A and B are shown apart, each in its own frame.
Chain A
C-alpha cells in the first residue's frame, strides 16, 4: 500500500530558530499534500494544502510567512516553522494524495520549542 515517510519524528529546538519537517511519498506520486497540526487532546486541524509546483493554500488563521510549505516534487513536501516559539509546540502531520485518490498520512513530528 501507499507509504508516506515523515521525519524527524521528534525535534526540540530553541525559541527563535527554524525547523524543517519533511514528508515523502515512497511508492506513489503525491499530487496533493496536506499539513495538519494537532494540540494535546484535540483533533487534527488542517493548516495548508499544496499541489506540486504551486503555492500552498493556507487555512484561515495560519500565517504563511511563519509556516513555509514547499512542494517542489511529486514525492516531497516540506514544512518549515520559522522563528519558532513555545506556542508552536505541537504534533505536525502530513498527508499525501495521489492521482488514484485516497489519503495516506505520515507518522507525525512532535515539535517542542524551548
Chain B
C-alpha cells in the first residue's frame, strides 16, 4: 500500500476550520484514502474515506486532488473534543490491513 506523509502536529483555534493535509504521491488507481483519528487511550475512530471524488459527511470533508497525490481533511468548525491524532491511510480496500504512519497531532485551542 502507498505510503503517506503528514505534518507531525498542527494547532487550530476553536470554532475555526481545521485543514489537515496528506501527501500520497505513490497512490495507485485502486487505492482509497481513509482518515481515522485517535483520542488518547482509545481505539481509532473512522472519519471518512474516498477514492477520487470529494466526500462529505457529518464529521468532515475530504478533498482529493485531481491527480490523487494528496488530500486534505477538513473539520469545518473544530471543537476542543477534536483534539486527537489524525491518520491518513491509503489502502486498496480488498481486506488488506491498514498501515498507520505517524499521523498529525491536532491541538484545538480555546
Contact = CB atoms under 8 A, between A and B. Distances in A.
Given A43-B101, A44-B100, A103-B34, A93 B44 contact: yes
Given A34-B98, A49-B97, A105 B44 contact: yes
Interface of A: 4, 6, 31-32, 34, 36, 43-46, 49, 51, 91, 93, 95, 97, 101-108, 110
B97 A104 contact: no
Given A101-B93, A103-B34, A46 B99 contact: yes
A46 B46 contact: no
B95 interface: yes
Do most interface residues of chain A lie in helix, strand or loop, or is the interface mixed? strand
Interface residues of B, number: 21
Interface of B: 34, 36, 38, 41-46, 49, 87, 93-95, 97-103
A108 B39 CA distance: 12
A95 B101 CA distance: 16
A43 B103 contact: yes
